[in-house]
Amino acid sequence: MTFPGIVIMTDRYAVFPAVALLAFLAPVQAGAQTQIVEQVLVNVNGDILTKTEFERRQVDLLRTRPELAAVTAESPELQQALNEVTPPLILAAVDELLLIQRGRELGYAMGDEQFESIVTNIRTSNNLLDQEQFEAALTQEGMTMETLRATLERQMLATEAERADVVDKIVVTEAEAQAYYQANREDFTTPAAVTLREIFIEVPVSTLGINVAEDDAARAEAEAIRARLLAGEPFPRLAAELSDGPTSTNGGLIGPIGVEELSESLQALIAKMAVGGLTEALRTPTGYQILKLETRTQTQIRTFEEARADIGTQVGNAKIAGERLKYLDRLRDQATITWRNEDLERAYASALAERRKAMAG
């Protein structure tokens, strides 16, 4: 079951033991006099990320990888997967805390009416109209109404902060849109295409090669079928009844297929045909083929004005992605981040360096 906007796990994959998930994290020292109830991994401006919370994020992410469904907690595949996902995951977790804090600074909060509206949408989309069913579903996913509200509010705060500080400030100029259109005209071009129908008559082949008499018989059969088509018998019916090709099950239909995907000889042949026209019985390496040109569309290029809305979306999304990372760096530069786990601090630094390298490139 998936609720819009939040990740709800199912029983499809085995739950990995939390201890095994973070074996590379600094363990509690043996013989410690004080029992540690919860381990803090990082403190960002006073908000913390705990070991339990981060392990949950790791489990949620690993459960999306089918190749890990049958692994054990001690398997090298699991450890390798953890090594891969942990750096970007810890970077995303700190990013989220920065955004949530900024959302609070801007005065956003989730009111009761907004929360109830979202819950109603969740229940409706999951067909959980009964309150007891809904609460049972939450329990199955390890959530309560309180934790659901907290999750939704965190997401709302982060989203609203980005919207106010980044998204709403993005402007796509006419020059930028024109430049994008000229550089990506192929994205707005629909190539010429055809839809064909075929009837294929196979010529038997033995270890001695093709028997001339059998070849003549196959050609005669194909020509007889073509004559029936010219007399007005439906192509789909004859293809279903008489064709030896795999397309016989759908009336011989092929395509739509791009003209450029056809052989040059077939392109030249079809170029001379009118829609509805038939080819002769064409010899192929394995038999005889009759083709009908069912439909033809010419190459179509959307004008700049026709594509303007899509261009604005694509250019805008690209600018948002770039500005978001710069924005997060500004929030990060102003933040006080205190690490309580050296391994995760190194993973975070590694992911951040990779991100900045990609931005610079």
Q: Is the pLDDT score of 220 beyond 60?
A: yes
Q: Note whether residue 11 is domain-resident.
A: no
Q: How far apart are CA 220 and CA 228, in angstroms?
A: 13
Q: Are residues 328 and 267 in the same domain?
A: no
Indicate the helix (H) or strand (E) that contains 57. Answer: helix 51-62
Domain harbouring 134, CATH code: 1.10.4030.10
Nearest partner of 61 among 41, 87, 42, judged by Cα = 87
33-47, 145-159, 219-233, 243-257: segment of lowest average pLDDT: 33-47
Determine the structural domain holding residue 71 and report its residue range.
18-171+315-360
Q: How far apart are CA 260 and CA 252, in angstroms?
A: 21
Question: Phi and psi dihedrals of 6, rounded to 5?
Answer: -135, 150
Q: Are residues 329 and 288 in the same domain?
A: no
Question: Phi and psi dihedrals of 71, rounded to 5?
Answer: -80, 160
Q: Are residues 26 and 96 in the same domain?
A: yes
In angstroms, what CA-CA distances link 286 with 202, 289, 324?
A: 6, 9, 58
Q: Are residues 115 and 214 in the same domain?
A: no
Say which residue, 198 or 204, is predicted with more confidence.
Answer: 198
Q: How far apart are CA 43 and CA 29, in angstroms?
A: 21
pLDDT single digits (tens) 298-307: 999 999 999 9
Q: Are residues 42 and 152 in the same domain?
A: yes
pLDDT, mean of residues 5-12: 29
Look at residue 37 in the predicted model and tell me its pLDDT: 61
Q: How many domains does the chain have?
A: 2
Domain harbouring 206, CATH code: 3.10.50.40
